Structure 1
Amino acid sequence: MTAFRARLTDVDIRRLVKAEDEDERAEAAHKLCRSMERATLDPADRAAAQKILRVLAQDAAELVRRAMAVTLKSSDLIPNDVARRLAADVDSIALPMIGFSPAFSDDDLIEIVRAGSGVRQTAVAARPRVSRDVAEVLAAEGAETAVRTLAANDNADLSERSLAVIVDRYGGAPEVVAAVAYRQALPLEITERLIAFASDAVREHLVTRHAVTAETAIRLSQFARERATVDLVDQAAASADIAGFVTQLNARRALTPSLLLRGLARGQMTLLEHGLAELANTPHARAWQMVHDAGPLGLKAIYDRAGLPPRLFQAFRAGVDTWRALQAEGADTSGDAFRGKMLERFLTQRPNTSRDDLAYLMERLDVPARPQRMAAA
C-alpha cells in the first residue's frame, strides 16, 4: 500500500462524512481534494481517490460539494458520473464544473445547453475550449448572453455556418455583433453581413482588421461619416485577389491616380503594378516588367498608356525610385515597418502632388502599425 492510500483509511472517510459541523467537513474536503490533485497517483490510488469523490458528491452539505467542485474544477481526476452529478447541482456547485471540467463529453455539454439555463449555457460558452459541435448548438439555441460569450471566446471553434446563425438570431443586438466582429478571424461573408449591423466604431474595426469585398470597400469609402470611411489602400493590401480587387475598383471608377499614388507612397507596389496593368489593358507580367526592368523609359511608357496625368508622373517616379532604393538596402518590403519608412522617405522628397494627397499621407505617418491580419477561418 502506498503512502497516499495509507492516508485514505476508512476512519478518515467516516470522519469527513459524519462530522456534524458543515464548515469542518468542507475544510476537510478541500484539503483532501487538494492533496489528491497534487499527488502522483497510480491506477489503484486513482480508483481509491475517485471512490472518495463519489462519496463527497453525495454529501448533504452544499459547502462540502462546493469545496470539491471548486478545488477540482479543472482536474482530470473527477470521473464523468461525478461531473454529471455536480452539473445537476445548484449553480454555486454546477457552474465551476460546467465551466472548466474536462470530464464532460460533447454530448454532456450539449445536454446542458439544451436544458435551457442561460447561466449554465454561458458557462459552457466560456470554457477554455468549445468544440465545433457544442458551439453549433449554442449558436442555434443559446440565450443572448451565452451566444455573446461564445462569440467572444476565440477558443470556441465557430464554423461559418454557426457564425451565420448568430448573425441571423442576434444581428440586432449590438453587444453580440461587437463580440463577433472582434474575433481574431472572420470569413469574408460574415464580415460583410456584420457591417450592415455594426456601430461606426465596430464597422471601423471590421474594415481595418478584416478584408471586405471591393464593392463594400468602395461604398464605405464614400460614407460621409468619418468613422465609417474605409481606406481603399488598406483594403487593396488586404485582398487575397488584388487583380480582382483592382478590376472592381476600375469598374466603379475608383481606380484613380490619387489612389495609386497613395498606395505607392505607402509601399504598396503590387497595387501600383496591377493598377497600371488594369488601366493600360496590359497583362500584369508586362506591367511589372515595364515598372521594374524596362529601364528609365519603361515606367513612363506604361504610365502614359494607363492614361494617368502627366503632372503627377514625377511623383510616381519618385515613389518607384524610393521603393527600389529601400529594396536594394535589404528592407523587407512586405512589413509595416517598410511601409512607414517608405512613406517617410517619399515625403522628404516634397513630391508634386495634390494638397489632399499630401494631407492624407501626412496623417498616415501618425497612424500606428496595425497588428497582422488573421486569415479567415
Structure 2
Amino acid sequence: MAGIYIHVPFCKQACHYCDFHFSTSLKNKKPLIDGILKELELRKAYLHSKKIDTIYFGGGTPSLLDTEEIQQILAQINTLFKVATDAEITLEANPDDLTIPKIKSLKAAGINRLSIGIQSFYDEDLSDMNRAHNANEAKVVVQNCLNQGFEHLSIDLIYGGTTLSDENWIQNLKTAFNSGINHLSAYSLTVEPKTALSSFIAKGKKAPLEDEKSIRHFELLKSMAKEHGFEHYEISNLAKPGHYSTHNTNYWKGEPYLGVGPSAHSFVGNSRQWNVRNNAQYIKLVSEKGDYFKQEQLSPYDQYNEYIMTALRTTWGVDFNRIQERFGAELLSYLEEQIQQISNNLIEETAIGFKLSTAGMNVADTVISECFWVEN
C-alpha cells in the first residue's frame, strides 16, 4: 500500500493560527498546477511500483482549484501510477467553496471523500480565527454534501480558543455528531511561531490560551464521541466503525507516501524528503529539473523514533513484536527501560504492547519524547 499527497498552496485569506505553507494570490495557479503534473512524472519511481490506495488533496485550500484542474492531476496520477479501483480520494474543502454545483462536479471528477474545514458553528469563533466562511454556511454544507451522494464526510473542529466557551464546545460537538458525518478531526488550538495569533498574544491584543480549557474540551470530546458511537482512533481523529481515514491511518502505520507540491513531505521507510517551501522557486526548479527537495537518510534509530512518534498517537499503540523484528533487542530493551520511568496513569498495557491513556493523550508529546532514542 502507498499514498500520494498533493499540497495545494492557496487560500482566500490567512487564518490567524495557521503555519502551513500557502499564498493568498492565485496568479501562479496555472504554472503551479503544471509543476505538480511535472513533479508527478519526475517522481513516478519513488514508490517502487506500489499500488496507490489513497490520494489526498491538502493545503492550503484545495477546493479553490477548478474541477478541471483536479481532473488533470487525477488523470496524471492514473497514467503514471497503479491506482487501486477502490482508492480513497480525499479533498480538503472550505464550506464557502462547496456550492451545490461544486459538490456535484467534485463527485463527478472522482473525489469520494471530503474533509471540510468547519472549525466552529459560531460566528464569534470563526471571526476570531479569521475564517472565510460563516456559521450558516458551516451548518448547511454537510447536508448539501450528503444530499449529493457523498457518503464519506469528515469535518474539522478546533477547541480551546479564548472565544469558545465550554457550553458552545458541547453544542459544536452535538451539531457535528448529529449532522450525518462519519469522521471528525478535532484539534486543540495551538500558538505556532510566526503566525498572526502568536503576534497578537505577544502584543497583548489577545489573551493567552488556557491549557486547562483545552484539557476540559478534550475530555468532553472523548466522552461525547463515545456516546455517539465514534471511535477515538488517533489523538485528533474520531470515526464511526469502518470509516477511519485510510490515508492518515497508513501514515501512522508507517506506510510509504509521495508528497507533491511546494512544502510537501515524502516518506519511504529508510528516508524522507521535503520540497522547497516557496511557490515561485518550486515552479522554477521543477520545470528545470533542479534541486527542489532535500532528502534525509534515516538510521535504524531514526526509524525507531519515527515509529514511536506515529504509533503512540493511535489507539493501537506500540507493538513490542514489531520493534523486536524491525529494530532488534537493543531498542526493545531500551524502550522497556524508558517505560518504567513514565507515570503509570499516562500509559496503558495492551495485548501487543502499550498505548497512551486518556491522561497521556493530554501530554502526548512529553510521553513520546520520553520513549525516543537519544544518543548520549
Q: Give the TM-score normalised by structure 1.
A: 0.26
Between structures 1 and 2, the one with greater helix share: 1
Which structure has more relative contact order (CA 8 Å, sep 6+)? It is 2
Structure ID, larger Rg:
1
Q: Give the TM-score normalised by structure 2.
A: 0.26
